[in-house]
Structure 1
Amino acid sequence: MSEPSKSDFIRDIIADDLATGKHSTVITRFPPEPNGYLHIGHAKSICLNFGIALENEGVKAQCNLRFDDTNPEKEETEYVESIKEDVKWLGFDWGEGLYFASNYFGFFHDCAVHLIREGKAYVDDQTAEEMKHSRGNVNVPGTPSPFRDRTVEENLDLFARMKAGEFKEGEKVLRAKIDLASPNMNLRDPVLYRILHSHHHNTGDAWCIYPMYDFAHPLEDALEHITHSLCTLEFENHRPLYDWFIDNCPVPSKPRQIEFARLNLTYTVMSKRKLLQLVQENRVSGWDDPRLPTISGIRRRGYPPEAVRHFCKRVGITKFNGTTDVALLEFDVRDHLNASAQRRMAVLDPVKVVLENWSAEPLAIVEIPNHPQNPELGARDVPISGEVWIEREDFMEDPPKKFFRLGPGRHVRLRGGHIIRCTSFEKDAAGNVSLIRAEILPGTVGADAPEGVECRAAIHWVDAATGADAEVRIYDRLFSVESPDDADGGFLTVINPDSLKTVTAKIEPSLAEAPAGFNCQFERVGYFVTDLKEHRPGVKAVFNRTVALKDSWAKQAGK
């Protein structure tokens, strides 16, 4: 699977490197930390890194999937497996290029020993607070640690004893000896190794010292012969440190780090920490809650991977941070489903209509196309009897002038079936319409209205005898403001109370048997998908709304 991508500054750099002979191949990587589920922002990076590899197949390009698993306190096998599933769902394949940073722990250790032998690293006994204070700030240079001038022999001995587990967590760290006066704070003797007596998901209890991300990441890239290490702009100030490690460690290659702007969306939070908080505090039902921007969440909501890839291509790759309107993502989802999703009928707020002059035959069949513009998707037979459900909003007791649906004495067509006329209706004790009586106009299936009969609308319906009940979840945006991160009381205070509404709907028989993950349009209602976890064909029907037919939030913003 390879889709054309518009040019950008990263692709221009790569094209120039190939044209000038600087590189004869292109090797990129997608390097997630397995400390949470991926979100739509990661999808942009996945599409970029794997997309570049696919676009350069002529030079044997490759994109590795590498797990940066250097922090055992936050990483879990569950996250590893979910990330693999997300990458595959988006349509990409890492082939033989599946790697774990933890498999390089021996190499990282050897590089650290090399730096110690070169006098470029030392063991520090200061506390984290003392180190923070001694590093200074952007206006004040750092002051040397009292342990900065330890001898090479002493540092080698202490580091070996750290590795052997002789010290407690926080008792000692290994730091690089670079430049305490550098205006770039990342170069002021950064920590390379810390002590963590924690079980690792991949290496078990083999190690009790673990490398810091800034130290491990460039070494991983070099070991895998990555040509272009693509990361987001927050790592731009880390690039001098990245290059320092590459220049001062015994690495087999010299990758180039290039930064691009991350994806930010309105009405959304992207921070893994905040997403984890939403999950742990049960504000949502889990990492795959369809309201979350996690890839597993949008998959469960019914977003097609093709639409997500198209959205990432449309957003593009730039050097400038900004925020993209989430409506653009919803537009791409809606646009894709409009062309590909089959149509079905479901009534979310049902009221019964009795067809009083129905024939003696208890059941009839009407043929309805599965898609109005795509005959290749075929048609289906839908049963109808003398009683049907329609949407409550499709009937008005005293309709205004431009209301063309059902009302006393008015005509409307049942989608794919007869034209009917309302003859009377009943109300319950609360004053709500509880039953509508109507008559069919014989001979109007597939035919125009008889002369003198005004029928200007068709409505969807579900047969009362053969239809089924379904749990339908109406999902909306999780937050009620464009920038939840900037909310005065914090992002939790602007959670949209209407982000999920659940109704019991009436569905046509075919929907009850639909497999999990089946996308369709509920005619005149919206796009829906059978839930991946709870829908059981023929037993329990559960549908999630993917996206509405129209952007109702745009209307609210206009008001």
Structure 2
Amino acid sequence: MKLYNRKYNISFIHKIINHDIKKNKNLCLHTRFAPEPNGYLHIGHAKAIVLNFELAKQFHGRCNLRFDDTNPQTENIKYINAIKRDILWLGYKWYKKIQYSSNHFEKIYQYALQLIKKKLAYVDKLKKNDIQKYRGTLNSVGINSPYRHHTIKENIFLLQQMKDGKIPEGYACLRAKINMKSSYIILRDPILYRIKFDAHHQTKISWCIYPTYDFAHCISDALENITHSLCTLEFQDNRRLYKWILNNINIIHHTRQYEYSRVHIEYSTLSKRKLKLLIQNNIIQHWNDPRILTIAGLKKKGYTPSSIINFCNKIGVTKQNNLIEFSVLEHCIRNELNKTAHRTMAILEPIPIILYNIPNQYEEIINILNHPHYSHMGSKHIIFNNHLYIEKSDFKEHPENQYNRLILGKKIKLKYSYVIQAQYIEKDKHKNIIKIFCTCNLKNKNNKKKYGIIHWLSKKQSTISEFRLYNHIFTVKNPEHHKNLLSIINNKSKIKKYGFINKSIYKKNFQNITYQFERIGYFFKDKKLSNSNNIIFHRTVSMKNKIK
């Protein structure tokens, strides 16, 4: 196997693998991405996907997809299908067939029996609250359960009773017998098996006892010959239990676990529990809402697989938890779309412009490039005549000193076109401006004098469209620090506007396409939501770039 030497992407995990390969020339790197199928993937999972699949690729190894499906009460086949779609969309393919922890249920059960026979596990009949109380705290040691001293024979009998469904749910569980005085709470006789009378999406009703995540995870890794089990820092203490289990069962392969920092991004949460809370309270409708950082939400917003992968590479793999600026994520998609998105003009809040000194029959066709720097992306025609739309914000009747757009008596340039001058306005009975009357000199198109520039659309070439603008869903930078998540919801996190687009966009068969609406931002045309009467655009990211 080759060592990995690409300096720009070296992490402490790369160094560990390089070291392991030097020690064992025959080592075949085998990683895994092992999600629980109890929700949709988010940007944190994307980091794990990129890390595990890219390591396998870089070191000519393998990467499994395994579902750690040990809790039928929270898992669903729809999550499994969504996870598979997201991984494939990101551009990765798992090694051979998909694995499930449930594939190993019989072997895991036999390992539980092994621990009982070694006097390292027992069936406990304490209630859940009592188990929690007996476990102690960081400041106080745990207390032994009164059932800790059952004989081997009694424990095997009780575990069989659990397996046969003869003990009610919550009345018994299997616990490891380690050390109730350990300074690590995870080692204070953790639960290995519990009773759950729920049908499982893979095993159906074959089982009514299920191994805990901690018990099944390390055994599944070992049975699949995973060489490096990579997880986030909250599992750092769990590594002690991971090693204890593998050291005390008769299993040949011993996987090593390594931890790295989680993804924490400003103004967002990646907690499945908290995202479910947002759905339950109708803050968002679904897991693919563009305001949350699920892969489905980012995809709907217009993010691309490569932009997400670039973000994961940019933040790197470290052991240091930190809060990542949201602008880092935006930079990755903006940087890509700046090179790939077609330029066009759209008006989100239209106000009519009448060029009254130009005849009604006058019409000029202007040819412009789809991208100012890449002629191979082609060109398009726009129409210039005397009935136009501009953005409402591009005109002010009483402007501040630094305002450099259209005002009465001042000249301004229409992008790709002519200089105009506002002469008078028309208002409705509520004093709202409904029309701006301007003059235009058709001879000054190539005037080299510097003017402020605004974008526009010809009324003749315009068709109505819906624009959805997204802001942070929370009002504070680190919502994870707030107990009441619903008290910090940004009520302006989703804004709908109805304006105009160029009709040529309308004719592109409702494909999922990203455009740069000049001076406004990058917008993603939603094929699924759009119809013949209304095209819907999601704003992917604004024009502003905070990253230098």
- TM-score w.r.t. the length of structure 1 is 0.92
After TM superposition, the structure 1 = structure 2 runs for residues 269-280 of structure 1, keeping only pairs within 5 Å, are 269-280=269-280
The residue type equivalent to 1:509 in the other structure is K
Check 1:289–1:357 CA distance in 2 against 1; reply closer, same or farther (3 A cut): same
Q: Which position in structure 1 is the counterpart of 2:323?
A: 323
Q: Is the 8 A contact 1:424 1:438 kept in 2?
A: yes
Distance 1:186 1:513 in 2: 60
2:144 paired with 1:144: yes
Q: Which position in structure 2 is the counterpart of 1:197?
A: 197
Q: How big is each residue's C-alpha offset from its partner over 1:489-527, in whole Å with a ceiling of 9 and x where there is no partner?
A: 622211112111111011111222343431111110111
Q: Is the 8 A contact 1:417 1:444 kept in 2?
A: no
Distance 1:262 1:22 in 2: 31
How far 1:466 sits from its partner (Å)? 2.8
Q: Is the 8 A contact 1:404 1:455 kept in 2?
A: no
Q: How big is each residue's C-alpha offset from its partner over 1:101-125, in whole Å with a ceiling of 9 and x where there is no partner?
A: 1121112112112222222222111
Deviates most, 455-464 or 29-38: 455-464
How far 1:535 sits from its partner (Å)? 2.1
Distance 2:7 2:42 in 1: 23
How far 1:4 sits from its partner (Å)? 8.0
The residue type equivalent to 1:344 in the other structure is T
How far 1:23 sits from its partner (Å)? 5.3
The residue type equivalent to 2:143 in the other structure is T
Q: Is the 8 A contact 1:530 1:544 kept in 2?
A: yes
Check 1:482–1:119 CA distance in 2 against 1; reply closer, same or farther (3 A cut): same
Q: Which position in structure 1 is the counterpart of 2:3?
A: none
Q: How big is each residue's C-alpha offset from its partner over 1:207-236, in whole Å with a ceiling of 9 and x where there is no partner?
A: 110000000000110011100000011111
Distance 2:430 2:360 in 1: 34
Q: Which position in structure 2 is the counterpart of 1:29?
A: 32
Q: Which position in structure 2 is the counterpart of 1:547?
A: 541
After TM superposition, the structure 1 = structure 2 runs for residues 382-421 of structure 1, keeping only pairs within 5 Å, are 382-399=382-399, 402-421=402-421
2:10 paired with 1:7: yes
Check 1:360–1:430 CA distance in 2 against 1; reply closer, same or farther (3 A cut): closer
Q: Secondary structure at the match of 1:158?
A: helix
Q: Secondary structure at the match of 1:465?
A: helix
Check 1:383–1:178 CA distance in 2 against 1; reply closer, same or farther (3 A cut): same
2:544 paired with 1:533: no
Deviates most, 125-134 or 402-411: 402-411
Out of 464, 467, 474, the position equivalent to 1:469 is 464
Q: Give the unaligned 5+ runs of structure 2.
A: 1-5
The residue type equivalent to 2:65 in the other structure is L
Q: Secondary structure at the match of 1:36?
A: coil
Check 1:456–1:5 CA distance in 2 against 1; reply closer, same or farther (3 A cut): same
Deviates most, 261-270 or 362-371: 362-371
Q: Which position in structure 1 is the counterpart of 2:50?
A: 47
Deviates most, 122-131 or 431-440: 431-440
Q: Which position in structure 2 is the counterpart of 1:168?
A: 168
Check 1:95–1:419 CA distance in 2 against 1; reply closer, same or farther (3 A cut): farther
Distance 1:157 1:463 in 2: 82
Q: Is the 8 A contact 2:68 2:217 kept in 1?
A: yes
Q: Which position in structure 2 is the counterpart of 1:448?
A: 447
2:489 paired with 1:486: no
Distance 1:23 1:74 in 2: 40
Q: Which position in structure 2 is the counterpart of 1:242?
A: 242
Q: Secondary structure at the match of 1:103?
A: helix
Q: Which position in structure 2 is the counterpart of 1:84?
A: 84
How far 1:302 sits from its partner (Å)? 1.2
Q: Is the 8 A contact 1:5 1:313 kept in 2?
A: no
The residue type equivalent to 2:55 in the other structure is I
Q: Is the 8 A contact 1:516 1:535 kept in 2?
A: no
Q: How big is each residue's C-alpha offset from its partner over 1:29-74, in whole Å with a ceiling of 9 and x where there is no partner?
A: 11111111111111111111111111112xxx01111111110000
Check 1:139–1:402 CA distance in 2 against 1; reply closer, same or farther (3 A cut): closer
How far 1:395 sits from its partner (Å)? 2.0
Q: Secondary structure at the match of 2:491?
A: coil
Out of 508, 514, 523, the position equivalent to 2:518 is 523
Q: Is the 8 A contact 1:179 1:187 kept in 2?
A: yes
The residue type equivalent to 2:335 in the other structure is D
Deviates most, 492-501 or 394-403: 394-403
How far 1:89 sits from its partner (Å)? 2.2
Q: Which position in structure 2 is the counterpart of 1:19?
A: 22
The residue type equivalent to 1:460 in the other structure is H
The residue type equivalent to 1:548 in the other structure is S
Q: Give the unaligned 5+ runs of structure 1.
A: 555-559
Q: Which position in structure 1 is the counterpart of 2:430?
A: 430
Deviates most, 332-341 or 253-262: 332-341
How far 1:278 sits from its partner (Å)? 0.5
Distance 1:400 1:217 in 2: 63
Check 1:16–1:97 CA distance in 2 against 1; reply closer, same or farther (3 A cut): farther
Distance 1:457 1:431 in 2: 27
Distance 2:347 2:392 in 1: 9
The residue type equivalent to 1:76 in the other structure is N
2:260 paired with 1:260: yes
Q: Is the 8 A contact 1:63 1:97 kept in 2?
A: no
Q: Is the 8 A contact 1:17 1:23 kept in 2?
A: no
How far 1:144 sits from its partner (Å)? 2.6
Q: Which position in structure 2 is the counterpart of 1:38?
A: 41
- TM-score w.r.t. the length of structure 2 is 0.94
Q: Is the 8 A contact 2:196 2:209 kept in 1?
A: yes
Q: Secondary structure at the match of 1:197?
A: coil
How far 1:443 sits from its partner (Å)? 4.3
Q: Secondary structure at the match of 2:234?
A: helix
The residue type equivalent to 1:31 in the other structure is A
Q: Secondary structure at the match of 2:236?
A: helix
Check 1:178–1:23 CA distance in 2 against 1; reply closer, same or farther (3 A cut): farther
Q: Is the 8 A contact 1:347 1:507 kept in 2?
A: yes
Q: Is the 8 A contact 1:307 1:332 kept in 2?
A: yes
The residue type equivalent to 1:310 in the other structure is N
Distance 1:375 1:180 in 2: 71
Distance 2:540 2:7 in 1: 27
Q: Is the 8 A contact 1:68 1:217 kept in 2?
A: yes
Q: Is the 8 A contact 1:168 1:195 kept in 2?
A: yes
C-alpha RMSD of the superposition: 2.1
Distance 1:155 1:397 in 2: 84
How far 1:27 sits from its partner (Å)? 0.7
Q: How big is each residue's C-alpha offset from its partner over 1:232-291, in whole Å with a ceiling of 9 and x where there is no partner?
A: 111111111101111122324111000111111111112111111001111112111111
Check 1:246–1:435 CA distance in 2 against 1; reply closer, same or farther (3 A cut): same
Q: Is the 8 A contact 1:300 1:532 kept in 2?
A: no
Deviates most, 393-402 or 22-31: 393-402
Q: Which position in structure 1 is the counterpart of 2:489?
A: 495
How far 1:136 sits from its partner (Å)? 2.9
Check 1:133–1:406 CA distance in 2 against 1; reply closer, same or farther (3 A cut): closer
Identity of aligned residues (%): 39
Q: Is the 8 A contact 1:421 1:441 kept in 2?
A: no
Q: Secondary structure at the match of 2:230?
A: strand
Q: How big is each residue's C-alpha offset from its partner over 1:273-319, in whole Å with a ceiling of 9 and x where there is no partner?
A: 11110011111121111111111111111122222211211111111
The residue type equivalent to 2:11 in the other structure is D
